[in-house]
Each structure stands twice: as structure tokens, then as C-alpha cells.
Amino acid sequence: MDKLPSPCVRNCCLTNEDICMGCGRSYQEILDWHQANTHRQQLILEKAKVRLEEMAEMRGQPLR
């Protein structure tokens, strides 16, 4: 299975918890992305989605 495309949206700004506000990945997940297998990349994407939803809720904004 081919690798997944990077979820980077070129809006890199890390929170105090080292989570990218653009894509929702942790700093370590960003570093690991290109070496990760497809399964690991999918897990990263799932976690990132949840984080982005949580950040949007905290700001009281809908997720785009």
C-alpha cells in the first residue's frame, strides 16, 4: 500500500503542548511521518483529527 500524502497545510504553529494548529499532529508525529508505514500514518491522521476538533471546540468555532 502506498504512503499517504502529508496532512501539512502549511500553517505550522505549535501549541504549548507541541501540537500543530494547522494539521493537528504532534511535533514527534510530524518528524516521524515520512518514515511511518501506512498503518502508523492512518493512526496519526485519526489522532490529529480528534485534536483539531478539540481545538475548534475550545475556540467555539466549527471545524472547516
Q: Say what the pLDDT of residue 62 is.
A: 64
Rounded-to-integer distance, Cα 52 and Cα 49, Å? 5
Q: Say what the pLDDT of residue 28 is.
A: 98
Q: What single DSSP character describes residue 63? A: -
> Structural domain boundaries of the chain?
12-59
Q: Say what the pLDDT of residue 2 is.
A: 73
Q: What is the pLDDT along the chain (64 residues), one digit of tens a residue?
A: 578 999 999 999 999 999 999 999 999 999 999 999 999 999 999 999 999 999 999 888 766 5
Question: For residues 33 and 25, is the Cβ–Cβ distance under 8 A?
Answer: yes
